[in-house]
Structure 1
């Protein structure tokens, strides 16, 4: 679907695809539905999850056809994530279809791919990745969870914090410390895990604490470099989601500035408001360009992905935070109320900034990649 020779111009097929995703989300994920699901026990709507798989095959978008997916690239995934970010889609789409799927795809383990990816692609399995511990850091040298060989398998001991969608996941990919460095392990018997919901600022993206005590697991054939590449790919996807949220914040602010009057005129006619919105538009377009470059790197120049993804995630985290704050401020008093959706975007911006590492973390990764 994508055209590597013209990476930053959408094809007609891509525009039609994005339009289909947007229409789907407008129908299935309006603000009232987001609020309802936010208050539900599991934090997602199973009927919408099934429709995403059955109607648009979104869960398997980047999974190759040989594993039951659609075989599209990161360019198409970025379009989907921009739309889900704009709609504040609650649930495990990013966690399962991006984070978990790519952890497996970037491994060298054909057995694990054939076993788990078809069910992730169909939506029958919800996967997640458990990396962070009490510190909340996404550094692979900060692991305390331990994996020990036991007979033909492995046993995991330790506690993972801030595991996205950890309460509802059917498959948990745990990154743990071994004698030969970090490794990745599959736990598909979630009854062997002790899980509890973790309090979160963003109610549209649930997290959990997962405790393991000699928990049986299967090792995935993945090197440290494989795990880091998978996290970089997911960071590029998360940056696309952040751009979608930032754009929706700007759209809300501009719409309100056109109808809110003070001193007999729309507040959007005041120079300070106009300049603020123009500055945000420029920042968001720059952020979108960073995402497009990262997606292009993932599809065409994978050796450039780690640096491109780090740059995109660091920049988009800050742009989304500024856009969400400006949206509240430009709405005035109503923007601070529970009834207005501005606070939901502000909370998503804050949580997404920490997921997969904050801006400083990614700047350090970028500095390491370019040799600074």
Structure 2
């Protein structure tokens, strides 16, 4: 596989980086018992989403977007990861767009996509539940018809960017199987959830007879089975499989952006930290450790780009590449984050330093939309995986 970024793609990356380098952080939170941040900076998101156009990248042009692919979205995610920016880009825009496009419901697209593209609305995907979070079937949240209206009951967990969402796309069990529903934020209770990663707030959504609008012209979502079992492939595949692949490549890109910048910070630090009368970066053991990390980050970056292209172009190997990227990139970032804490010494374990933010972001991201181990198990039954027949 070989491809190169276009001038427009490079321009998008540089515009996002310039904005975030100036105003994007990282913002080191105050130590406990100070409350965790509630979410993103609305003004920064307005500039990123509306002025640069990040919110509408994959929204079709007829709905006010750019009609781009996940490749462009992954470039934005990579830059957001570099600065650990709390942003609704993944949870409040990109995944909602993927779900709406996969559902094939023109009315829902007309109703929701223009607001998302203009960065005026946030629509969060409410998928996971407390038990077996990223399943594709057997949801405890249920949908029922009552006097001609759909009502939803249940609880969703680990919802990205739900605290400021205007609406939710909720996956629930209907009489015909798992289905997707639109629920107004005013009709549910949104509760913040304790998280390891304070830079990515998560919340639970409680639904008690919440009025809902079904989404999907073709009826209920076709279940793809547990994460270890492959579902149907192609453009008509299940909505959740498409969302899982999109989430995997977006989070992989975030991890690579964070790992790349943090590795650069580590290299700068070992050149100035002196022990035994010389910079610790001059010691052979430190050089070897950093060289290994550099090779790991560049290898994972290549896989991340390949996966974004495969998923973005609907290649038949997209699901396999997405799972490989999610697994490798999360674990590579984890390794870089851990080495960063070690090589920074005592300052690396303080609240005032950003080292702990990377360690927490790495471990938190690894749990979202399937762990690295679950994605490797998923590869056993996906076409296009390395080593598959």
Q: TM-score, normalised by structure 2?
A: 0.89
Q: Is the 8 A contact 1:246 1:320 kept in 2?
A: yes
SS of residue in 1 equivalent to 2:103: coil
Residue of structure 2 equivalent to 1:112:
108
- Give the direction of change, closer, same or farther, for the CA distance of 1:282–1:233 in structure 2 (3 Å limit): same
Deviation at 1:338, TM superposition (A): 0.8
- Greater mean alpha carbon deviation, residues 230-239 or residues 136-145: 136-145
CA distance in 2, matches of 1:275, 1:15: 32
Is structure 2 residue 374 aligned with structure 1 residue 361? yes
From 180, 195, 203, the counterpart of 1:208: 203
Is structure 2 residue 338 aligned with structure 1 residue 320? no
Which structure has the highest helix share of the two?
Answer: 1
Once the two structures are superposed, what CA deviation does each residue of 1:10-31 show, in whole Å capped at 9, x if it has no partner? 2333222211110010112133
Deviation at 1:199, TM superposition (A): 1.0
Q: Is the 8 A contact 1:103 1:231 kept in 2?
A: no
Residue of structure 2 equivalent to 1:45:
41
SS of residue in 2 equivalent to 1:135: coil
CA distance in 1, matches of 2:315, 2:137: 23
Residue of structure 2 equivalent to 1:199:
194
Once the two structures are superposed, what CA deviation does each residue of 1:60-92 show, in whole Å capped at 9, x if it has no partner? 111111111111112211111111001111131
Residue of structure 1 equivalent to 2:235:
none
Deviation at 1:39, TM superposition (A): 5.8
Residue of structure 2 equivalent to 1:335:
348
Q: Is the 8 A contact 2:95 2:247 kept in 1?
A: yes
- Structure 2 unmatched runs, 5+: 223-237
- Give the direction of change, closer, same or farther, for the CA distance of 1:41–1:271 in structure 2 (3 Å limit): closer
Is structure 2 residue 359 aligned with structure 1 residue 346? yes
- Give the direction of change, closer, same or farther, for the CA distance of 1:166–1:212 in structure 2 (3 Å limit): same
CA distance in 1, matches of 2:149, 2:316: 33
Runs of 4+ in structure 1 deviating by more than 4 angstroms, as ranges, are 38-41
Deviation at 1:248, TM superposition (A): 1.8
Is structure 2 residue 244 aligned with structure 1 residue 231? yes
Residue of structure 2 equivalent to 1:130:
126
Aligned residues: 364
Is structure 2 residue 151 aligned with structure 1 residue 155? yes
Q: What does 1:34-73 align with in structure 2 at a 5 Å threshold? A: 35=29, 42-73=38-69
Q: What does 1:281-296 align with in structure 2 at a 5 Å threshold? A: 281-296=294-309
SS of residue in 2 equivalent to 1:259: coil
Residue of structure 1 equivalent to 2:20:
25
Once the two structures are superposed, what CA deviation does each residue of 1:148-192 show, in whole Å capped at 9, x if it has no partner? 13344311111111111222111111111123221111102x221
From 172, 177, 192, the counterpart of 2:173: 177
CA distance in 2, matches of 1:161, 1:229: 20
Once the two structures are superposed, what CA deviation does each residue of 1:312-334 show, in whole Å capped at 9, x if it has no partner? 11111111111111111111111
- Give the direction of change, closer, same or farther, for the CA distance of 1:191–1:16 in structure 2 (3 Å limit): closer
From 263, 267, 270, the counterpart of 2:283: 270
Deviation at 1:274, TM superposition (A): 0.8
- Structure 1 unmatched runs, 5+: none
Residue of structure 1 equivalent to 2:136:
140
Deviation at 1:145, TM superposition (A): 0.8
CA distance in 1, matches of 2:89, 2:305: 20
